[in-house]
Copies of this chain bind each other. A is one copy, B any other.
Amino acid sequence: MQLELSVDRSSPVPLYFQLSQQLEAAIEHGTLTPGSLLGNEIELAARLGLSRPTVRQAIQSLVDKGLLVRRRGVGTQVVHSQVKRPLELSSLYDDLEAAGQRPATRVLVNKLVPASAEVAAALGVAEDSDVHRVERLRLAHGEPMAYLCNFLPPGLFDLDTDQLETTGLYRLMRAAGITLHSARQSIGARAATTAEADRLAEETGAPLLTMQRVTFDDTGRAVEYGTHTYRPTRYSFEFQLLVRP
């Protein structure tokens, strides 16, 4: 049976993107079964009235996502394994929301403070210069899940406490026109101090999962530095990795 594919040339959506989305949907939906050959590019292009480079571009984007594997002389196959999504720069808020956990946020602190040496180094600003300090408690089902402490350089965008309570920090940044580009992360663990334990309803000395992150926008500016602690009984980092070819 042939897969039903078609493209709309009057649409402003690029042709290769239309095709890659349809293929991805077919894989997701199970119409294209794992291990099945995709059929050769030439014929596929002819069937759709597209050129081979356009078809290749569509296929390539799915190869980059890890959904397809190409083999010279063989063809293009759907990957067997259950690839869900290759690790993205995710926000805890979005993750929880996607998991249907209806996250809540309590803003504990939202003020300007002088940058410590550590924060200044991470954000690339002068020591003791003003930076935003935001402390938040993230809850799911009424239970505390994580304590988030973030520092942001001033003047980036308006840090409204009400907005911080109803959405995630990354979403606010994107809405403010900031193009996130990359982040440097560090995940570790340590025993909870008494203050940390109190905030997260754990006991002193209980194991905590920690994450530090500096996020950069596409101009190379550091736009956020965060120190987060998670309750390991409630949260763990799950992600899919791709081997870079």
Contacts and interface: CB of A to CB of B under 8 A. Distances in A.
A34 interface: yes
A219 interface: yes
Given A79-B218, A80-B221, A242 B187 contact: no
Nearest to A213: B241
A94 to B, nearest CB: 13
Given A207-B207, A238-B186, A244 B88 contact: yes
Given A79-B220, A191-B207, A86 B244 contact: yes
A209 B66 CA distance: 28
Interface in A152-204: 180-191
Contact of A188 (B218, B232, B244): B232
A241 B182 contact: yes
Interface of A: 34-35, 53, 64, 66, 69, 79-81, 83-84, 86-89, 180-191, 205-209, 216, 218-222, 232-233, 235-244
